[in-house]
Amino acid sequence: MFEGIEVQEQALLAPYTTLHIGGPAQYLAFPKNQDELLSLLQEANAHHLPIYLLGGGSNLLVNDDGVQGLVIYLAGDFAQVEISDSKDHIWVGTAFSFPKLTRLCLELGWEIALGWSGVPGLVGGALKMNAGTRLGEIGEVVCQVEAVTPAGKLILSHDQMGFAYRHTAFPKDAILCRAELYYPQANPQKKAELLAKASQLAKTRKATQPKQRSAGSMFKNPPGDYAGRLIEACGLKGTQIGGACISQVHANFIVNQGQATAKEMLALSEFAQKRVYDQFGIELEYEVRRWGF
Ligand X SMILES: Cc1cc2nc3c(=O)[nH]c(=O)nc-3n(C[C@H](O)[C@H](O)[C@H](O)COP(=O)(O)OP(=O)(O)OC[C@H]3O[C@@H](n4cnc5c(N)ncnc54)[C@H](O)[C@@H]3O)c2cc1C
278 alpha carbon, distance to own chain's centre: 30
> Minimum CB separation from ligand X for residue 176, in Å?
4
> Minimum CB separation from ligand X for residue 85, in Å?
27
Active-site entry in 117, 214, 217, 269: 217
Which CB atom, from 154 or from 280, has the smaller least distance to ligand X?
Answer: 154
Active-site entry in 111, 137, 146, 287: 287
Is 287 part of the annotated catalytic residue set? Answer: yes
Is 166 part of the annotated catalytic residue set? Answer: yes
> Minimum CB separation from ligand X for residue 78, in Å?
8
Active-site entry in 36, 137, 166, 180: 166
Give the 3-state secondary structure of 148-216: EECCEEEEEEHHHCCCECCECCCCCCCEEEEEEEECCCCCHHHHHHHHHHHHHHHHHHHHHCCCCECCC
Which CB atom, from 221 or from 261, has the smaller least distance to ligand X?
Answer: 221
Number of residues assigned to the chain: 293
> Minimum CB separation from ligand X for residue 86, in Å?
27
Q: Is 85 exposed, middle or buried (0-12, 13-18, 19+ CB in 10 A)?
A: exposed
**Nearest residue relative to ligand X (C-beta):** 125
By CB under 6 A, name the binding residues for ligand X: 18, 52-60, 94, 119-122, 124-126, 128-129, 131-133, 175-176, 209, 214-216, 289
Which CB atom, from 119 or from 186, has the smaller least distance to ligand X?
Answer: 119
Which CB atom, from 165 or from 192, has the smaller least distance to ligand X?
Answer: 165
> Minimum CB separation from ligand X for residue 188, in Å?
25
d(CA 94, CA 146): 10
Which CB atom, from 265 or from 275, has the smaller least distance to ligand X?
Answer: 265
* Residues annotated as part of the active site: 166, 217, 287
